[in-house]
Amino acid sequence: MARNNLFELIKTMTSGEKRAFKLFAQRYSKKVNVYVKLFEVIDKLDAYDIAYIRSKYIVPYKLEKQFPVIKNKLFHIILSSLRNQYQEKYTPFRVSRYFDEADILMNRGLIKAALSSLEKAEKCCKDSDNLLILLKILDRKTDVYRRILKAEAFKEKVHEIIEQKTAIRNSILKEYQLEQIYNDIFYLFRTGGTAETEEKLAEFHRIMAIYEKEIDKESMTIKSKHFEFLLHTIYYYCIKKMDESVKSALEHVDFLEEHPVFLEENINEYLKALNNSITIYIAQEKYDDANKVLEKVEALRYRSIVLNRFIEQRIFEIKYGSKLGICVNSKNIKEGLKLVPDIEKGVNKYKNAGLSIDRNVRFSFGLALLYFWKREWNACLDWTNKIEKIDQEASGGPAFVVGYAKLLAILCHYELGNEAFTESLLQSTRRFLIKNKRLFEPENLILKYLKRMLFIIESERFELMESFKRDLVLAQKKDADNIVFTTIGILDWLNLA
358 vs 405, more confident: 405
The closest of 439, 453, 369 to 403, measured between CA atoms, is 439
Q: Tell me the residue length of the chain.
A: 497
Three-state secondary structure of 452-482: HHHCCCHHHHHHHHHHHHHHHHHHHHHCCCC
CA-based torsion, 145, 151, 153, 156: positive or negative: positive
User: What is the number of helices (H) and of strands (E) in the chain?
Assistant: 26, 0
Return all residues near 262 (Cβ < 8 A) that are at least 6 apart.
127, 128, 129, 222, 223, 226, 256
Sign of the Cα torsion 302, 318, 360, 333 reads negative
pLDDT digits (tens, 9 = 90+) for 274-295: 999 999 999 999 999 999 999 9
Least confident stretch, 23-37, 94-108, 354-368, 450-464: 23-37
Instruction: State residue 2's pLDDT score.
Output: 42
Confidence of residue 469 (pLDDT cuts 50, 70, 90): very high
Percent of the chain scoring above 90 in pLDDT: 47
pLDDT 10s digits, 169-200: 999 999 999 999 999 999 888 877 888 788 88
pLDDT above 80 (res 306): no
d(CA 19, CA 39): 11
Q: How far apart are CA 497 and CA 494, in angstroms?
A: 5
Tell me the torsion sign for CA atoms 245, 251, 254, 258: negative
Q: Residue range 403-408: average pLDDT?
A: 92
pLDDT at 302: 65
Domain spans of the chain? 5-143, 167-240, 246-355, 370-497
Looking at residue 29, its pLDDT comes to 66
Q: Of 362, 364, 297, 285, which is closest to residue 330 (Cα–Cα)?
A: 285
